Chains A and B, each alone.
Chain A
């Protein structure tokens, strides 16, 4: 079945690294995604990783994928107050007609 789970809340100090975790159940997931939602806005795609990759780095963002454990993480280096938002993990599967299955979102709060 399709299920994506995330912890709901994370609080970090400005300048520290943030790590947001996600687990998924569908072993046929082809791509896994991280979306960001700022208050009052729609979701914005941050990054994605193909299921046969272990890691992807994009500036301050590092995505780690453990396919065996079906575990995905997003690390944000040097977290800034502008990073405060809700971060959604999502998966898509083969033959899914572009269907995205989202987790419940992790609210990241960055404090001075």
Chain B
């Protein structure tokens, strides 16, 4: 059983297009995240939702809009894609905050903007 699943796994698109990445977790977790990993493997948090509410919004262009229809899903929509958006995007989830952040990651979506 896949705990955190993202689709698609690969996405190649042209500059200026709009695209979405979907994420679902079946772990019953309250908190979900989007992380971006650049070509040098540097990993940075973009957004976090807790029970469908946005709780972390790092300095991310407003072309990126997360949406959480329910606590098991967190989708990422990107408008007007740019070359610099090329990266691997990871969705993750974690159980209720007890001090330890035990995050479970999806397999990643490799986005290539051409």
Contact = CB atoms under 8 A, between A and B. Distances in A.
Interface of A: 30-31, 33, 37, 40-45, 48, 50, 86, 88, 92, 96-102, 104-105, 107
Max chain A Cβ within 10 angstroms of own Cβ: one of B33, B41, B44? B41
Given A97-B48, A99-B45, A104-B41, A42 B108 contact: yes
B107 A48 contact: no
A42 B90 contact: yes
B61 interface: no
A31 B99 contact: yes
Contacts of A101: 45
A53 to B, nearest CB: 12
Max chain A Cβ within 10 angstroms of own Cβ: one of B31, B43, B97? B43
Tell me the dominant secondary structure on chain A's binding face: strand
Interface in B24-47: 31, 33, 40-45
Max chain B Cβ within 10 angstroms of own Cβ: one of A33, A37, A92, A100? A100
Interface of B: 4, 31, 33, 40-45, 48, 50, 55-56, 90, 92, 94, 97, 99-108
B41 A30 contact: no
Given A97-B48, A100-B45, A31 B56 contact: no
Contacts of A99: 45, 48, 56, 101
A98 B103 contact: yes
A31 B92 CA distance: 18
Contacts of B97: 97-98
A88 B108 contact: no
